Homo-oligomer: A and B are copies of this chain.
Amino acid sequence: MPSLQDSSTTLAELKERVLAFARERDWEQFHSPKNLSMALAAEAGELMEHFLWASPGESSEVALQPQKRARIGEELADVVIYALEFANATGLDIAANIEAKMQANARKYPIDKARGRSAKYTEL
């Protein structure tokens, strides 16, 4: 049973966990922003590989197949782990940056213009 759950785990707790893991192994020397951004992108590629040939609708079913679901959960974990390590390496606060970005997105995509449309804000 996992003891961590999204409902009660803060980003700071996860950042501390991954930092402790890296420090115990003397891995901070490899964790430059450049290297971590590469690792993050490579893991994002692995996550994507599960859905290459599925239609968007089929991809929801792929994510429910038990064997695939376990692998997909691992790739998602890898992506977020590297995002947390990137935040550790740069001192960036993820939640604060998400809040700021969502405020900017709310201005770019006002509800009345953006509803039901996938167009980029420059084309709304």
List residues of A whose CB falls within 8 A of some B CB.
2-12, 14-15, 17-18, 21, 24-27, 29-30, 32-35, 37-60, 62-63, 69, 72-74, 76-81, 83, 86-87, 89-90, 92-102, 104-106, 109, 111, 114-116, 118
Contacts and interface: CB of A to CB of B under 8 A. Distances in A.
Q: How many copies does the complex hold?
A: 4
A92 B118 contact: no
A89 B60 contact: yes
Given A93-B6, A100-B2, A114 B25 contact: yes
A1 to B, nearest CB: 9
A14 B93 CA distance: 13
A53 to B, nearest CB: 4
A87 B6 contact: yes
Given A25-B109, A38-B48, A44-B45, A4 B56 contact: no
A6 B2 contact: no
Given A10-B9, A21-B105, A109-B25, A53 B77 contact: no
7 contacts: A6-B87, A11-B11, A40-B79, A42-B46, A60-B90, A73-B97, A76-B86
